[in-house]
Amino acid sequence: MIHLLDDIVKNAEKEFESVKDSASLDRVKAHFIGKNGVLTKFFKQFSDFDIETKRQYGKLINEAKNKIEVLLANKKSYLQDVNISLSVSSNLIDVTLPGRGKSFGNIHPIMRTQERIEKIFRSIGFDVIDGPEIETDWNNFTALNSPIDHPARSMQDTFYLNLKDQNGLPLLLRTHTSPMQVRYASTNKPPIKVIAPGKTYRIDSDATHSPMFHQVEGLWVSKDVSFADLKGIYTEFLKCFFETENLLLRFRPSFFPFTEPSAEIDMMFTSGSNKGKWLEISGAGQIHPNVIRNFGLNPEYYMGFAFGSGLERLTMLRYGITDLRHFYENDLRFLNQIRN
């Protein structure tokens, strides 16, 4: 009897020794001390014996059972330890690895230019205003001294909408920011000193033209603002914008229906493969008396200047970019190069 029990315990030692995971632990446990386990069955054999014999054998069997339970408990805690160290080693953090790094967003070059321009003009007392991209015929053309059928309108190939304004004329995508002159000057009293940056649209597309592009309009209306002020302010603006005193600049006589006299302002590329070439960056001029009248003001008292500059063009010159279509291709290799 005692031999038998010893054998069972020895067997159990061997079996628990070979256990590798908790599933086989459960199996071995059931085999020895489960409901139908070896030891349990063994115990049942003595159910018909007298009390004294049962007590003696029961004691021995319990001792054997205790031994097996110790084996079980030891193996269980061993397996737990193994599991913990396994999971620790599989989640190891290698602190010597280089970090993944965060990629920061970047402001689009055109917006960077717009913000730079706003800052410069604010610093010399201009307000910054904003207006709609869908315009009326009056604001975009007629009020700017380009009546219907006037040949000057064909200077700007226009996108028209299938919608009419209250005069029965088709609405259009503004071809320049100049309608902001009309919007602002006819609802605000002089002195008026504003810039209006924004999107503009023309049926045009090549290395220096895009069907959607950006302009900034400048407008100063007061009692004694002349072409000399335009030249002074605009040149000063460019010096700030390009952060240099040495600008290659020319005011070339030109024509716009809404200014008289008019000029186009050209600047020379000083870097990039366009180096040495002139690029037109702005139209400008003394506001035409008819336009002052269309603002609802008396041209006998009020005068001023206006300019309209291309933000793409200014950006191209600042960074030496030769093709303006880069701005709209969203190629990060291009965009990420421009960070100041």
72: contact with ligand PHE by CB under 6 A: no
When the beta carbons of 34 and 147 are compared against ligand PHE, the nearer one is: 147
141: contact with ligand PHE by CB under 6 A: no
CB of 166 to ligand PHE, least distance (A): 24
146: contact with ligand PHE by CB under 6 A: no
Q: Which stretch binds ligand PHE (CB under 6 A): 106-114, 120-128, 185-193, 301-309?
A: 301-309
Q: What angle do CA 98, 99, 102 make, to 5 degrees?
A: 145
CB of 212 to ligand PHE, least distance (A): 14
DSSP conformation letters of 60-123: HHHHHHHHHHHHHHHHHHHHHHHHHHHHHHHT---TTSPP---PPP---HHHHHHHHHHHHHHH
314: contact with ligand PHE by CB under 6 A: no
Size of site (CB under 6 A) for ligand PHE: 11
User: In one letter, which amino acid is 191?
Assistant: P
8, two tokens: 């069972």
Beta-bridge partners for 191: none
306: contact with ligand PHE by CB under 6 A: yes
Residue 187 has what DSSP assignment? T
When the beta carbons of 109 and 283 are compared against ligand PHE, the nearer one is: 283
CB of 95 to ligand PHE, least distance (A): 59
Q: Are 248 and 239 in contact (CB under 8 A)?
A: no
Q: Which of residues 145, 158, 259, 286 is near ligand PHE by CB under 6 A?
A: 259
Q: Which of residues 197-256 bind ligand PHE (CB under 6 A)?
A: 256
CB of 202 to ligand PHE, least distance (A): 9
16: contact with ligand PHE by CB under 6 A: no
Q: Is 260 annotated as a binding residue?
A: yes
Q: Is 155 left (phi over 0), alpha (psi -120 to 50) or beta?
A: alpha
Q: Are 20 and 31 in contact (CB under 8 A)?
A: no
Q: Which residues make Cβ contacts (< 8 Å) with residue 245, sequence separation at least 6?
A: 239
CB of 310 to ligand PHE, least distance (A): 8
CB atoms within 10 A of CB 152: 15
Q: Which of residues 213, 234, 237, 307 is near ligand PHE by CB under 6 A?
A: 307
CB of 205 to ligand PHE, least distance (A): 16
CB of 120 to ligand PHE, least distance (A): 18
Exposure pattern of 166-183 as b/e (b: 16+ CB <10 Å)?
eeeeebbbbbbbbbbbbb
CB atoms within 10 A of CB 255: 14
179: contact with ligand PHE by CB under 6 A: no
| Per-residue binding letters, 261-290, with ligand PHE (x by CB under 6 A) | -x--------------------xxx-----
Q: Are 132 and 95 in contact (CB under 8 A)?
A: no
Q: Are 167 and 138 in contact (CB under 8 A)?
A: yes
Q: Which of residues 178, 210, 294, 315 is near ligand PHE by CB under 6 A?
A: 178
176: contact with ligand PHE by CB under 6 A: yes
295: contact with ligand PHE by CB under 6 A: no
Q: Which of 126, 291, 147, 299 is closest to 219 using CA atoms?
A: 126
d(C-alpha 316, C-alpha 78), whole Å: 71
Q: In terms of DSSP bridges, do strands 212-222 and 278-287 run parallel, antiparallel, or are they unpaired?
A: unpaired
When the beta carbons of 68 and 284 are compared against ligand PHE, the nearer one is: 284
Q: Is 11 helix (H, G, I), strand (E, B) or coil?
A: helix
When the beta carbons of 12 and 284 are compared against ligand PHE, the nearer one is: 284
Alpha-carbon dihedral angle through residues 145, 149, 154, 157, given to the nearest 10 degrees: 100
Which residues are documented as binding site for Mg(2+)? 260
Task: Give the interface with ligand PHE as residue ranges (CB under 6 A).
Answer: 176, 178, 256, 259, 262, 283-285, 306-308
